[in-house]
Amino acid sequence: MAQILDGKAHADRMLEEIRQAVATRNATGARVPCLAVILVGENPASQVYVRNKVAACAKTGIRSLEFLLPETTTSDKLIDTIIELNTNPEVDGILVQLPLPKGMDAKVMLQRIDPAKDVDGLHPMNQGLLLQGQRGLRPCTPSAVMNMLKAYGVPMKGKRAVVLGRSEIVGKPMALMLMEEHATVTIAHSRTVDLPSVCREADILVAAIGQPGFVEGSWIKPGAIVVDVGINRVEDLQLGERIFTHDPKKLEALRTRGSVLCGDVRYGEAFEIAGSVTPVPGGVGPLTIAGLLTNTLQACQNRG
Contact footprint for ligand NDP (CB under 6 A): 141, 164-167, 169-171, 189-191, 208-211, 229-232, 284-285, 288
Q: How far is the CB of 11 from ligand NDP (least distance, A)?
A: 10
Phi, psi dihedrals of residue 10, rounded to the nearest 5°: -70, -40
Considering beta carbons, is residue 81 or 165 the nearer one to ligand NDP? 165
In the chain, the largest separation of any two C-alpha atoms, in whole Å, equals: 58
d(CA 150, CA 3): 15
120 part of the active site: yes
Collect all residues with Cβ–Cβ distance below 8 Å to 169 and sequence separation of at least 6: 98, 120, 122, 139, 141
Instruction: Please answer whether residues 177 and 156 qualify as being in contact, where contact means their C-beta atoms are separated by less than 8 angstroms.
Output: no
- In 89-125, which positions are buried (b, 16+ CB within 10 angstroms) versus exposed (e)? eebbbbbbbbebbeebeeeebbbbbbbbbbbbbbbeb
By C-beta, is 23 or 48 nearer to ligand NDP?
48
Nearer to ligand NDP, 81 or 147 (CB): 147
Q: 174 to each of 169, 235, 250, how far by Cα in Å? A: 9, 29, 29
Q: State in angstroms the smallest separation of the CB of 23 from ligand NDP.
A: 26
Establish whether 250 is a catalytic residue.
Answer: no
Least distance from ligand NDP to the Cβ atom of residue 288, Å = 3
Specify the residue, 91 or 274, whose C-beta has the smaller distance to ligand NDP: 274
Instruction: Name the residue nearer to ligand NDP (CB basis): 39 or 164.
Output: 164
Closest CA to 298 of 135, 98, 149, 128: 135
Nearest to 219 by CA among 200, 232, 234, 202: 200
53 counts as catalytic: yes
**Min dist. Cβ of residue 151 to ligand NDP (A):** 17
- Residue of 53, 159, 172, 221 with catalytic role: 53
The Cβ-side half-sphere exposure at 253, using a 13 Å CA radius, reads 11
Nearest approach in angstroms of CB 212 to ligand NDP is 8
**Phi, psi for 145 (deg, rounded to 5):** -60, -45
Query: Smallest distance from the beta carbon of 228 to ligand NDP, in angstroms?
Result: 8
Of 114, 118, 120, 264, which one is the catalytic site residue?
Answer: 120
212 by DSSP, 3-state: which? coil
DSSP state of 265: B
For ligand NDP, the closer of residues 164 and 293 by Cβ is: 164
Active site positions, annotated = 53, 97, 120
